[in-house]
Amino acid sequence: MQAMSPQFEFTLKGCNVRSAVQLQIDYSAGLTGPAAALQYWKRDSAGHWFAYQNMQISGNRVTLTLTDGGPGDADGVENGEIVDPGVVVQVAAAVTPVPVPVSSLWSLGLLGALIAGLSVFGTRRRLT
């Protein structure tokens, strides 16, 4: 993961409890990278960072939909105030595992024995 912007922190006061608020953050430079790899990470009421799902990123604009006391509110309390530290990050692409072709179970067993033998003989030391 790599931060694509500086951390942004704000407090919205006078929010209606249980009513969603939409907030737009415009950065001076575009947030580059594949759109699927860009995420907005926030801190929850326990102080842990998580990928916030109720957002959109387009060009240099991040649009957040937040609810007082909800998962997007870092203080976690319905008090008419939304506290929001967050940052845009680019997540590395997931690696897709590729199966190793084996023509038979005998070949797989032989390969396992060869690896085990190399690891045993490769770690032996000569005592003098």
Q: How does pLDDT run across 54-100, given as a tens digit for each residue?
A: 998 888 888 999 888 888 788 888 999 988 888 888 877 666 777 76
Of the two residues 91 and 30, the one the predictor is more confident about is 91
The domain spans of the chain are 2-90
Calpha distance 24→27 (Å, rounded): 10
pLDDT > 90 fraction of the chain, expressed in percent and rounded: 5
Q: What is the value of pTM for the model shown?
A: 0.62
What is the signed CA dihedral for 102, 103, 105, 107, rounded to 10 degrees?
Answer: -80
Count other C-beta atoms under 10 Å from residue 69's C-beta.
18
